Amino acid sequence: MPEKDLSIYGRRNRLDGMPGREVVTPTTQSFLEGDGSDVRLNRVRVFDPDGVEVHSYLVDPIGQRFVDNLPNTEDDLEYLKNL
């Protein structure tokens, strides 16, 4: 099974260059690849400089963005503990 890159999770500067930050967390939305690896959609929450959430979206491992409105797609912080 491939190694997971844990550096994608947590806080980072906004990718759009605006002031503020983003927080990336894994979600419960997942599927299994042919090699048995667990592939997750990640949630990206975008915050302004005052810490107010501006918006959020889901993103898959290849960078495709999805609207963050899928039912039953909560954050899964236990996933990080099990890696």
What is the per-residue pLDDT for 44?
A: 96
Long-range pairs of 62-70 with CB within 8 A, sequence gap ≥ 24: 66/41, 68/43, 70/29, 70/41
pLDDT in tens, the chain (83 residues): 456 677 889 999 999 999 999 999 999 888 787 887 778 899 999 999 999 999 999 998 888 999 998 788 899 988 888 76
Residue 58 to residue 42: CA distance in whole angstroms:
5
How wide is the angle at C-alpha 82 spanned by C-alphas 79 and 83, nearest 5°? 90
For the record, the structure tokens of 33 come out as 């690849």
Total number of domains in the chain = 1
Q: Which DSSP letter does residue 37 get?
A: -
Q: Which domain holds residue 35?
A: 6-81
Residue 41: inside a domain: yes
Residue 1: inside a domain: no
**Stated pTM of the model:** 0.83
User: What are residue 48's phi and psi, to 5 degrees?
Assistant: -80, 180
What is the per-residue pLDDT for 83?
A: 66
